[in-house]
Amino acid sequence: MTVSTTAPSATAALWADAERHLVRYGGAFTPEIIDRAAGSYVFTADGRKVLDFTSGQMSAILGHSHPEIVDTVRQQIASLDHLYSGMLSPPVVGLARRLAGTLPAPLEKALLLTTGAESNEAALRMAKLVTGKHEVVSFARSWHGMTQAAASATYSAGRKGYGPGAPGNFAIPVPNTYRPDFTTADGCLDWRRQLDFAFDLIDAQSTGSLAACLVEPILSSGGIIEPPAGYFAALREKCRERGMLLILDEAQTGLCRTGTWYAFERDGVVPDILTLSKTLGAGLPLAAVITSEEIEQEAHERGFLFFTTHVADPLVAAVGNTVLDVLTRDRLDERARALGEFLRDGLTEMAGRHPVVGDIRGRGLLAGLELVVDRATKRTSDELGALVTRRCLELGLHMNIVQLPGMGGTFRIAPPLTATEEELSLGLSILDQALGEACAAL
């Protein structure tokens, strides 16, 4: 039994202070005060143990407070935590070398930063400088970050009310096999025709300054949507025809979560620039931009500048090295594949009991479960998603649901790669119960 460490009066005071002093930055806060976290669980101030099926912000791939990460932070912060940004340290150089060793040629040059938005910002800045152009293409349900260039390439949320974004940003439709817009004679998604149509529109709008295409291999905020096999090879060809660089944002899919080290491995396509974040720091602020020697040299000769306070910080670089140690030693790519199959089997069984489960998708330990109120029409209900989310939390499972206009409610399921089958079974059982109770309450 978990013992509460915070008295009810103190919890009430925390909520009062939060309401008075915190800026709300993305909807309502989860109605719990979290006191600590360990492994696959977070523990609330009132003593509840909650299974975390989001790995924090889809980041803590080794679980919370992994002992080797804790040891690394303790040792590193006691010896070398932060430096002038022009100085180098062994953890930084070592992490860059080791990241290159996990990737296919020609990806071998790394820039170490802090967040996904920052890495995408740097990647776009590099692409614009190298190509001498400025226009950027992204998916219509994308999320790449909240800084200027990254936000301008983000279409899933946050575009209204902030004035103009960066000039020359274009959206292309998402190849969603569950909700196809361009269809074949049998009603399946005709993604080739969709992609041709998209770039016909891009060509019509472009001023002739197409610099880059920035996309996620699996769209997360867009509803765990995985483009069909062959799509990225065709997209890369569209980029090549126009002299554009292909940038893949693997913030959530990189480093074993999908069952391979990188999601792009499925397609046999190597990006010109790769961005990593979330999973690289296992919950700590670490990101990377990785590209070829040729692109890095061109950028350098043109005066590439991305000098920030926390570029190449040794503390988080040391954490990144430990992350690679654990991923490699424990073969967490293989574990993600096996646990992903176990999770999908459980979700498929659940779909047989609950008609509100419209679609199951994703790869490895990044799964999506889309809820509908009618499988035939695929009609959605915001109320249903909210009910299930709330009931899951009450029963001891934190789930994250995507609510976008026209998309419906899709649960993003991303447990740590260190989760056990027993923990996955517990989460499935709670979700099963929540679905049944929510449907009965509608």
The per-residue b/e assignment along 8-19, b for 16 or more CB within 10 angstroms, e otherwise, is eeebeeeeeeee
* 216 labelled catalytic: yes
Whether residue 355 is preceded by a cis peptide bond, meaning omega within 30 degrees of 0, is no
Of 128, 143, 238, 423, the active-site residue reads 143
State the DSSP string of 3-24: PPSS-HHHHHHHHHHHHHHPPP
Of 226, 249, 313, 370, the active-site residue reads 249
The Cα 147–Cα 128 span in angstroms is 16
The Cα 33–Cα 139 span in angstroms is 35
Of 133, 252, 313, 423, the active-site residue reads 252
The identity of residue 305, as a single letter, is L
Of 121, 135, 216, 359, the active-site residue reads 216
* 361 labelled catalytic: no
The Cα 345–Cα 360 span in angstroms is 10
* 252 labelled catalytic: yes
* 15 labelled catalytic: no
Q: Are 293 and 109 in contact (CB under 8 A)?
A: yes
Of 133, 141, 278, 361, the active-site residue reads 278
Angle at the Cα of 402 from the Cα atoms of 357 and 399, rounded to 5 degrees: 75
Q: Is 370 helix (H, G, I), strand (E, B) or coil?
A: strand
* 249 labelled catalytic: yes
Of 267, 333, 412, 423, the active-site residue reads 412
Q: Are 37 and 65 in contact (CB under 8 A)?
A: yes
The identity of residue 197, as a single letter, is F
Q: And the tokens for 173?
A: 């439709």
**In the block, residue with structure tokens 């978990």:** 2
DSSP element (H, E) containing 345: helix 332-353
The Cα 131–Cα 295 span in angstroms is 10
The Cα 151–Cα 345 span in angstroms is 36
Q: What are phi and psi of 290, to 5 degrees?
A: -125, 130
Residue 205, exposed/middle/buried by CB under 10 A (0-12, 13-18, 19+)? exposed
Q: Would you please indicate which residues are annotated as catalytic (active-site) residues?
A: 143, 216, 249, 252, 278, 412
